[in-house]
Amino acid sequence: MSETMSTDDAQMEMPRYKSHKVVHALKIGNLRAENGELVMDPIESRYAPIILTGDYVTKHDPQVGGYYVVYPDGYKSFSPAQAFEAGYTRIGVLKPGGR
């Protein structure tokens, strides 16, 4: 099977998808090196800094102003602010104890 597309295929719009995921996320306010590790300070100071693993940094290249995202299955990712804010709406914050 050939992987080349005809001109007609290249002109056809690909299927579109709408996100319906609920994720946890923090906007990155600062990235700093500390004891050989990269630490992410959320823009909202009520949240604790998060140490980012070397694998995470290499794979996702987080940037200040973007979002540190954690999916329901525990997968951690980075999303640029424009893409994240276009696709997600904040739905609230759970209080300690899950309420």
Q: What pTM was estimated for this model as a whole?
A: 0.77
pLDDT tier at 96, thresholds 50, 70, 90: low
User: How far, rounded to the nearest angstrom, does the alpha carbon of residue 26 sit from its chain's CA centroid?
Assistant: 9
With left for phi above 0 and alpha for psi between -120 and 50, is residue 29 left, alpha or beta?
alpha
Comparing C-alpha atoms, which of 91, 39, 43, 92 is closest to residue 67?
Answer: 43
Over 60: is that where the pLDDT of 3 sits? no
Over 60: is that where the pLDDT of 47 sits? yes
Average pLDDT across the chain, whole number: 87
Q: What is the pLDDT of residues 50-66, one digit of tens each?
A: 999 999 999 999 999 99
